[in-house]
Chain A
Amino acid sequence: MTAIIASVLFVRSAPARAAFGWGFLTSSTWDPVFERFGVLPFVWGTLASSAIALLIALPLGLGAAICLSELLPARWSDPAAFLIELLVAVPSVVYGLVGVFVLVPVMRTVEGVLQSTLGFLPVFAGPAYGIGLLTAGILLAVMIVPFVVTISREVLLAVPRAQRDAALALGATRWETVRHVVVPYARSGILGSVFLALARALGETMAVTMVIGNRPEISASLFAPAHTMAAVLANEFTEATGNVYLGALVEVALVLFVITIVVNALARLLILTVRAPDPARA
């Protein structure tokens, strides 16, 4: 099945690849009218929104995981983890719906404040639409935090008691134990969870396309509307005219496919090196 997906994407993007070659990967024009396509604005939007999401989700998720694994007794920690796992099951349209009607007006106010105070910074320049890269990043963060929390909590719980006890015996406070012993021990697992969350954020379509503005341009400002690879597919696929346009869109899908596979492979590798090997699989 996987091979079928790969080959189909490759074949179907042939018209576009023939027309643009490797230039597709570096051009930032997206002009359906004159049939000039480049994937760069979407790669930018995808990577930037995912980066913002990770910047928010990592501290939040790791903090929550530490709280759940170190602080709370199992009686509270297990139901809390159960509830957080439910967040993973919420469909992305629902996130998008809440994003459009709740987050966007809030962000309009927030961005307005940021603009009046820090508007001289290029990253906060531009009108405060409320819809744009920053909003999409925040919404993505909400969507990927549960991944970071659940996997980090698991790997933190898997750190052997001996490590903690040794640190405490040497006189470390509980926080010092967590910070200098437990977390570094689980570091690759936590990194793996980050990569997994990143993979989810990269492919996220519906919630992002509802709040990101869908404008295929690269801009330094966080307030500017942007576009992601998944969002452009969702929006323009059914309206693509002509072989080259459609081929270009399929090539965007191909790029997205390759990127997510690479990120996923890295994630699995990292998580596997931390989890104890399952005796049943030996």
Chain B
Amino acid sequence: MFTATTLAAATTLGALFFLLGYIAWQGATSVSWSFLTRLPAPVGEPGGGMANAIVGSGKLLLIAGLVGIPVGFLGGVYLSEYGRGPIAFTVRYAADVLNGVPSIVIGVTAYALLVVPMKHFSTFAGGVALGLMMIPVSLRTTEEFLRMVPDSLREASLALGAPRWVTVVRVVIPAAMRGILAGILLSLARVAGETAPLLFTAFGNRFWSEGWLQPTASLPVMIFTYAIAPYDDWHRQAWAGALVLLTLVLGANILARMVLIRSGGLGQGS
């Protein structure tokens, strides 16, 4: 019976390696400097690249970070240092609920709240939608890492006469900084791969998008569009895009988790 379980584990791991290997194999030949730096070619013509999608994803992540990081970080600080009782419980519960909301529903909400009043698809709306998705993850990791800071540090600081907020800002937060940053990196990596909320907020663009209020191409949406299109050349580019996206996302994940593993083991301060 145990061989069956080993088979199961091997299958799961095999799926991962197959996924990575297949994408690497399909996409490796297509990822070139021109792919990374050129705009999409006109429909049906071979060639062209995904430069606007890569830059677009970068811009979206910037706005998402501006929205998600402060709310998540400050929320985490509140929950860990100041929150007690029913309010904290509600906030924590709401964050968990928000975490479970499907990304497409968040896209619909962002559409209703931002796109309709602005009468325009925009990078801003897409970024806000992604930021909403970042909040629960960054909030939870911030809170957990702040909690891991031993109370003795807090008490020492308070005993030396520092007011509460100084203790938090200058003692507790720096002690947990590594883990918090890793958590933020993880949440950024997660939203970098999200397509659904962008479908009707940032929409898409076959050219460079100017500023923050124009629709913009993004890597996941472009992969999706190319994958379901009838052109072979677009399929090839979809694989290349998937390889780029996967490299970035998995790279960020591995980096963040290595940091977490190394700082997660430390619970006792000196």
A90 B250 Cβ-Cβ under 8 A: yes
B227: chain A residues at CB < 8 Å are: 93, 96-97, 100-101, 210
- Tell me, in angstroms, the Cα distance from A93 to B223 when the chains sit together: 7
A169: chain B residues at CB < 8 Å are: none
- Tell me, in angstroms, the Cα distance from A268 to B136 when the chains sit together: 15
Chain B contact residues (Cβ within 8 angstroms of A): what range? 35 or more
Choose, from A2-10, A20-28, A37-45, A215-223, the stretch at the interface. A2-10
- Tell me, in angstroms, the Cα distance from A268 to B224 when the chains sit together: 32
A146 B199 Cβ-Cβ under 8 A: no
What is the minimal beta-carbon distance from B39 to any residue of chain A, in angstroms? 20
B242 A64 Cβ-Cβ under 8 A: no
- Tell me, in angstroms, the Cα distance from A225 to B199 when the chains sit together: 22
B182 at the interface (CB under 8 A from A): no
What is the minimal beta-carbon distance from A1 to any residue of chain B, in angstroms? 6
What is the minimal beta-carbon distance from A51 to any residue of chain B, in angstroms? 17
B16 at the interface (CB under 8 A from A): yes
Among residues of A, the one whose C-beta sits closest to the C-beta of B80 is A280
Partner of B101, one of A61, A91, A257: A257
**Given A82-B257, A91-B194, also A5-B109 (CB < 8 A):** yes
A71 B253 Cβ-Cβ under 8 A: no
What is the minimal beta-carbon distance from B217 to any residue of chain A, in angstroms? 14
B22 A102 Cβ-Cβ under 8 A: yes
Interface residues of B in 127-166 (CB under 8 A from A): 132, 135, 147
Q: How many A-B residue pairs have CB under 8 A?
A: 205
Choose, from A118-126, A158-166, A185-193, A200-208, the stretch at the interface. A200-208
What is the minimal beta-carbon distance from B198 to any residue of chain A, in angstroms? 10
B257 A205 Cβ-Cβ under 8 A: no
Chain A contact residues (Cβ within 8 angstroms of B): what range? 35 or more
B73 at the interface (CB under 8 A from A): no
- Tell me, in angstroms, the Cα distance from A231 to B12 when the chains sit together: 26
Partner of B193, one of A60, A92, A210, A261: A92
B190: chain A residues at CB < 8 Å are: 89
A59: chain B residues at CB < 8 Å are: 8
A31 at the interface (CB under 8 A from B): no
A260 at the interface (CB under 8 A from B): yes
B245: chain A residues at CB < 8 Å are: 91, 93-94
B257: chain A residues at CB < 8 Å are: 82, 85
Among residues of A, the one whose C-beta sits closest to the C-beta of B258 is A82
**Given A90-B249, A93-B242, A253-B104, also A84-B16 (CB < 8 A):** yes
What is the minimal beta-carbon distance from A231 to any residue of chain B, in angstroms? 9
B105 at the interface (CB under 8 A from A): yes
**Given A86-B254, A91-B220, A238-B200, also A257-B105 (CB < 8 A):** yes
**Given A203-B103, A260-B101, A264-B96, also A12-B112 (CB < 8 A):** yes
Map CB proximity to B onto A235-261 as digits: 1 under 8 Å, 0 otherwise.
Answer: 001100000000001100100110011
Interface residues of A in 45-92 (CB under 8 A from B): 59-64, 66-68, 70-72, 80, 82-87, 89-92
Max chain B Cβ within 10 angstroms of own Cβ: one of A63, A66, A87, A146: A63
Interface residues of A in 92-114 (CB under 8 A from B): 92-98, 100-102
Q: Helix, strand, loop or mixed for chain B's interface? A: helix
**Given A60-B11, A90-B250, A203-B103, also A253-B108 (CB < 8 A):** yes
A145 at the interface (CB under 8 A from B): yes
Max chain A Cβ within 10 angstroms of own Cβ: one of B105, B190, B238: B105
A250 B108 Cβ-Cβ under 8 A: yes
Interface residues of B in 21-47 (CB under 8 A from A): 22-23, 26
Max chain B Cβ within 10 angstroms of own Cβ: one of A90, A142, A149, A260: A90
B177 at the interface (CB under 8 A from A): no
B169 at the interface (CB under 8 A from A): no
A64 B196 Cβ-Cβ under 8 A: no
A64 B8 Cβ-Cβ under 8 A: yes
B9 A63 Cβ-Cβ under 8 A: yes
A64 B9 Cβ-Cβ under 8 A: yes
B6 at the interface (CB under 8 A from A): yes
Among residues of A, the one whose C-beta sits closest to the C-beta of B189 is A89
- Tell me, in angstroms, the Cα distance from A72 to B5 when the chains sit together: 11
- Tell me, in angstroms, the Cα distance from A146 to B107 when the chains sit together: 25
A66: chain B residues at CB < 8 Å are: 2, 5
A230 at the interface (CB under 8 A from B): yes
What is the minimal beta-carbon distance from A93 to any residue of chain B, in angstroms? 5
B189: chain A residues at CB < 8 Å are: 89
What is the minimal beta-carbon distance from B210 to any residue of chain A, in angstroms? 22
* Cβ contacts A to B, 5 pairs, < 8 Å: A62-B8, A72-B9, A97-B238, A100-B227, A234-B196
- Chain B interface residues toward A at CB < 8 A: 1-2, 4-9, 11-13, 15-16, 19, 22-23, 26, 94, 96-109, 111-113, 132, 135, 147, 189-190, 192-196, 199-200, 203, 220, 223-224, 227-228, 235, 238-239, 242, 245-246, 249-250, 253-254, 257
Besides A84-B13, A256-B104, 12 new A-B residue pairs in contact (Cβ under 8 A), listed by A number: A3-B94, A9-B112, A63-B4, A63-B7, A64-B8, A91-B249, A93-B224, A94-B23, A94-B223, A230-B196, A233-B196, A260-B105
